[in-house]
Chains A and B, each alone.
Chain A
Amino acid sequence: MQYDLVVIGGGPAGLAAAIEAKENGIDKILLIERDRELGGILQQCIHNGFGLHIFKQQLTGPEYAERFINILKEKNIEYITNTMVLDITDKKEVYILNEKLGYKKINAKAVILAMGCRERTRGAISIPGFRPSGIFTAGTAQRFLNIEGYMVGKKVVILGSGDIGLIMARRLTLEGAKVIAVVEIMPYSTGLTRNIVQCLKDFNIPLLFEHTVIDIKGKSRVEGVVVAKVDENKNPIKGTEIYYECDTLLLSVGLIPENELSKKAGVIIDKRTSGPFVTESMETNIEGIFACGNVVHVHDLVDYVTLEAKRAGKAAAKYIKGTLRRDGVKIITINGKGIRYVVPQIININNSKEVTLFFRVDNIYKDCKLEVRLNEKVIKSIKKDKVTPGEMETINIDFSKLDIKQDDKLFVEVKE
């Protein structure tokens, strides 16, 4: 089997990338999704709040996905579901598996990686205690409730204040469960402010900062958890232990880009994002392999996923047609003081004069400035009342009037 473009992953990233490539003149496209239906993680996000930026509308996750799925179908873009990509090589050979075709090799001129992310588990953060049933990652619980139609418990403690945890606090409450508390080890939430208000405050669910779960009780099913306050080194403080009787512990302790497949193709992963190093065109270090969405870095708003995916789709089309530029000066972006990471990591201005930088701060800062420097020179400075690690920031940079030399450095920094 031979295609111009293979897109791996049928979430919002994969969908938008495939559509954009088609609109840019690529015809032989195959989009591959391992789940039963297209839409990715959006299918289980039945709450409102998707598409505010792009559609100026409050859509649910499935509604947002449906808009793109419909366009995909109208444009006759070929897709297969229930199909898992098991391997990719740096020669852009894609190995797929499903019940009808069996195990097959596909050759592609270009590949777009859009595999999304997975949730961090109890094991990743080594919560001690027993290992009974009743411990779920928030996303798994969300799937049980919203897709399978089952409740996971009656009295719930949630560890971590990531968005999925917050959303699930509300969802479980509306389903008649008692959410006792949300416990967060950091002094701030990694979730969106609007979710803290709408999902916790409106339901009087307490949010405990600088606390964590230090023990899990129950030999068959969870019977309770011990929560304690932590010191500045995140060690529990003796004497601050609280015992909560509960039958369920939900974990919303972070997402990890799913790059096992990318690594098989030789794609290099940036430790700061856990996703591939990418260029302004969302191209990885392997020529012709592009990436977008949560596989590159974890997004909190789907709108930005779509934006980024369009970039990848457009660039892949250029690459297939042989018009993606490799010549010209390249700039490296650098996360300066107060910034955890910046995407893209490399910019070739021959491919686009205007680039949106995506980045996250490493702590809460109030009354500060977000500054972009080209080497020593400040080229942009934006006043902010408050920035938090839970909300991704973006800045547009117009390079057309700047004098750029090879290996110039573009710094993003927080100025207090």
Chain B
Amino acid sequence: MYDVLIIGAGIIGTSIARELSKYNLKVCVLEKDNDVANGTTKANSAIIHAGYDAKNGTLKARLNVLGNQMFDKLCRDLDVPFKRIGSLVLAFDDNDLNTLHKLYDNGIKNGVKDLYILSKEEVINIEPNVNKTVKAALYAKTAGIIGPFEMAIALAENAYENGVEFRLNSEVIDIKKEDVYVVYTKNEKFKARYVVNCAGLYADKINDMVSKNRFKIIPRRGEYYLLDKSVKLVNHIIFQCPTKLGKGVLITPTVHGNTLIGPNAEDLEDKEAINTTREGLRFVLDTAKKSVEDIPIGMSITNFAGLRARTELDDFIIKEAEDSKGFINVAGIESPGLSAAPAIALYVLDILKSSGLEFVRKNNFKNKRKGIIKFSDLSFEEKNELIKKDSRYGRIICRCEEITEGEIVDAIRRPLGATTLDGVKRRVRAGMGRCQGGFCSPRVMEILSRELKVKMEDIIKDHEGSYILTGPTKKEVD
């Protein structure tokens, strides 16, 4: 019997799990996929928003601003890449100027610090590549960029280290309320006093299993281009003025030095439709050119798409179900969900508290997590030191990102370690570079096969069924 069962191991589920792991509670996370951070958390803009655009008075606004302030310490403790590079909203005409001032005022009301309106000259001075027709910009110094899946993985690892259980490949298919909650997966059932629903796009389905108060999640797709590291377009996160569909197409550096361009916004029915489209990508590129005219799109190394879990309400739904005590929805967590995640976790703890869960702090809570050593960041001496201890750090596997065998083995062996090609990729970036795994995927598969003691043919790319090889070749060759 668990005190708390968390459904979903995205940024929200893992943030809550890690927060709960500070207390003497028996907590378990159920995740349908074979890895954490494999839903919306792996495909978004990766911005820690400042919090000026969410409407004052909403949960989104409050938790965004609070969450933003928590990232420095969190990322230091958990060894996650995070950079406060600041954001700019560009204005190109009088209408836009009007919007900038509204955003500024809303930001001040929301409690956002370090907001400034910059003149054309000031903008071009710090961003020489932006379209010269820019008139002014709203500068938010506190905005930042992060590795979103690295963050969720780090939170999960730290929660695990502090006693939270994780059950992967465990899709919740039914929940019954007896004296406590009984949560069913295909092969098991789990009992718990409290259930927290962080199932992202499927939060409506989970809610339907328990509560009569329905809501509907509408997937809203956003598509992206990711450019090679050799391209340096902008120094800040560059937005255009928001439209009714959201914050619009942005151009930003990523924490690893690539350039990210996107997203568009398109409402869909299919919750698995993470495909990119010709029209969507064209729209993204055409729109982005308004911010920076000269985009070397030939340097694109990949495209991807993510689905926002939107509801009609236009705000996060974070509350205990009125008709089912102890069942807490954390739903409709569209943008700025990532930015708000640490604050959402605290807010959920408050809800649990007022619903009667007792919190007693652990005295042996480990707040620090040691990340995977990043070999290429080490000094000359440190590199040699490390290779002397473990020669696998002397063997480069991913040539584009310069990732060594030592790092890959660590990614596989650590708690909640990688079991798939993409799992390795999300943890250490092998295969994320310009050749997109062309050179290293056979090598990484070999290491996975050796470490996990499975056959090469059984290694998968990502989700179940994403097999890579179909079997050995015939013995004789032509």
Q: Is there a chain A Cβ closer than 8 Å to B460's Cβ?
A: yes
Q: Is there a chain B Cβ closer than 8 Å to A140's Cβ?
A: yes
| Known A133-B462, A137-B438; contact A149-B387, beta-carbon cutoff 8 A | no
Among A129, A132, A133, the most chain B Cβ lie within 10 Å of the Cβ of A133
A220 and B464 contacting across the interface, CB-CB below 8 Å: yes
Q: Is there a chain A Cβ closer than 8 Å to B478's Cβ?
A: yes
B465 and A122 contacting across the interface, CB-CB below 8 Å: no
B463 and A220 contacting across the interface, CB-CB below 8 Å: yes
A82 and B456 contacting across the interface, CB-CB below 8 Å: no
| Chain A, residue nearest B420 (CB) | A133
Q: Is there a chain B Cβ closer than 8 Å to A99's Cβ?
A: yes
B442 and A126 contacting across the interface, CB-CB below 8 Å: no
Give residues 73-89 of A contacting B (CB, 8 Å).
82, 84, 86
| Chain A, residue nearest B439 (CB) | A118
| Known A128-B276, A133-B462; contact A121-B436, beta-carbon cutoff 8 A | yes
A220 and B466 contacting across the interface, CB-CB below 8 Å: yes
Interface residue from A103, A124, A214 paired with B301 (Cβ < 8 Å): A124
| Chain B, residue nearest A220 (CB) | B465
Among B230, B388, B402, B466, the most chain A Cβ lie within 10 Å of the Cβ of B466
- B226 — which chain A residues lie within 8 A by C-beta? 123
Stretch at the interface among A50-58, A170-178, A311-319, A365-373: A170-178
- B472 — which chain A residues lie within 8 A by C-beta? 149-151
Interface residue from B297, B437, B468 paired with A152 (Cβ < 8 Å): B468
Q: Is there a chain A Cβ closer than 8 Å to B399's Cβ?
A: yes
| Known A175-B474, A220-B463; contact A99-B395, beta-carbon cutoff 8 A | yes
B395 and A152 contacting across the interface, CB-CB below 8 Å: no
B395 and A126 contacting across the interface, CB-CB below 8 Å: no
Interface residue from A130, A150, A171, A214 paired with B278 (Cβ < 8 Å): A214
What class of interface size applies to chain B in its complex with A? Answer: 35 or more
A122 and B274 contacting across the interface, CB-CB below 8 Å: no
- B26 — which chain A residues lie within 8 A by C-beta? none
- B272 — which chain A residues lie within 8 A by C-beta? 219
A126 and B300 contacting across the interface, CB-CB below 8 Å: yes
- Expressed in whole angstroms, the Cα–Cα distance for A236 and B380 within the complex equals 51
A150 and B391 contacting across the interface, CB-CB below 8 Å: no
In the complex, number of A-B residue pairs with CB atoms less than 8 Å apart: 144
A150 and B441 contacting across the interface, CB-CB below 8 Å: no
- Expressed in whole angstroms, the Cα–Cα distance for A174 and B477 within the complex equals 9
Q: Is there a chain B Cβ closer than 8 Å to A145's Cβ?
A: yes
- B402 — which chain A residues lie within 8 A by C-beta? 84, 86
Give residues 24-61 of A contacting B (CB, 8 Å).
34, 46-47
A121 and B395 contacting across the interface, CB-CB below 8 Å: no
- A137 — which chain B residues lie within 8 A by C-beta? 438
- Expressed in whole angstroms, the Cα–Cα distance for A95 and B137 within the complex equals 44
- A263 — which chain B residues lie within 8 A by C-beta? 230
Interface residue from B281, B399, B435, B437 paired with A126 (Cβ < 8 Å): B281
B467 and A119 contacting across the interface, CB-CB below 8 Å: no
Interface residue from B301, B394, B442, B464 paired with A98 (Cβ < 8 Å): B394
- Expressed in whole angstroms, the Cα–Cα distance for A122 and B301 within the complex equals 8
Interface residue from A103, A126, A221 paired with B303 (Cβ < 8 Å): A126
- B441 — which chain A residues lie within 8 A by C-beta? 140
Q: Is there a chain A Cβ closer than 8 Å to B457's Cβ?
A: yes
B190 CB to closest chain A CB, in angstroms? 27
Contact with B along A114-157 (1 / 0, CB 8 A): 00001101111010111111100101100111111111111000
Q: Is there a chain B Cβ closer than 8 Å to A100's Cβ?
A: yes
- Expressed in whole angstroms, the Cα–Cα distance for A272 and B274 within the complex equals 36
B394 and A99 contacting across the interface, CB-CB below 8 Å: yes
- Expressed in whole angstroms, the Cα–Cα distance for A147 and B456 within the complex equals 14
A133 and B275 contacting across the interface, CB-CB below 8 Å: no
A133 and B394 contacting across the interface, CB-CB below 8 Å: no
- B303 — which chain A residues lie within 8 A by C-beta? 123, 126, 128
- A392 — which chain B residues lie within 8 A by C-beta? none
B93 CB to closest chain A CB, in angstroms? 31
Q: Is there a chain A Cβ closer than 8 Å to B302's Cβ?
A: yes
Among A126, A140, A175, A260, the most chain B Cβ lie within 10 Å of the Cβ of A126
Q: Is there a chain A Cβ closer than 8 Å to B396's Cβ?
A: yes
- A139 — which chain B residues lie within 8 A by C-beta? 438
- Expressed in whole angstroms, the Cα–Cα distance for A128 and B264 within the complex equals 14
- A86 — which chain B residues lie within 8 A by C-beta? 396, 402
- B243 — which chain A residues lie within 8 A by C-beta? none
- A133 — which chain B residues lie within 8 A by C-beta? 460-462, 466-468
A103 and B442 contacting across the interface, CB-CB below 8 Å: no
B395 and A98 contacting across the interface, CB-CB below 8 Å: yes
- Expressed in whole angstroms, the Cα–Cα distance for A263 and B231 within the complex equals 13
| Known A98-B394, A122-B302, A123-B436; contact A148-B463, beta-carbon cutoff 8 A | no
- Expressed in whole angstroms, the Cα–Cα distance for A130 and B438 within the complex equals 18
A145 CB to closest chain B CB, in angstroms? 6
- B396 — which chain A residues lie within 8 A by C-beta? 34, 84, 86, 97
Q: Is there a chain B Cβ closer than 8 Å to A328's Cβ?
A: no
Q: Is there a chain B Cβ closer than 8 Å to A239's Cβ?
A: no
B394 and A102 contacting across the interface, CB-CB below 8 Å: yes
| Extra 11 A-B pairs, beta carbons < 8 Å, given A86-B402, A103-B394 | A82-B395, A98-B395, A103-B383, A118-B438, A121-B434, A124-B298, A124-B301, A126-B300, A131-B274, A220-B463, A260-B230
Q: Which residues of B contact A (CB under 8 A)?
A: 225-226, 230, 272, 274-278, 280-281, 297-298, 300-304, 380, 383-384, 387-388, 391-392, 394-396, 399, 402, 434-439, 441-442, 456-457, 460-474, 477-478
30 contacts between A and B (CB under 8 A): A82-B395, A97-B383, A99-B387, A99-B395, A103-B394, A121-B302, A121-B434, A124-B298, A126-B225, A126-B276, A128-B277, A128-B278, A129-B275, A132-B466, A133-B462, A133-B467, A134-B468, A143-B442, A144-B469, A148-B456, A149-B472, A150-B472, A150-B473, A151-B470, A151-B473, A152-B469, A174-B478, A216-B275, A221-B467, A263-B230
Q: Which residues of A contact B (CB under 8 A)?
A: 34, 46-47, 82, 84, 86, 97-103, 118-119, 121-124, 126, 128-134, 137, 139-140, 143-154, 170-171, 174-176, 214-216, 219-221, 236, 247, 260, 263
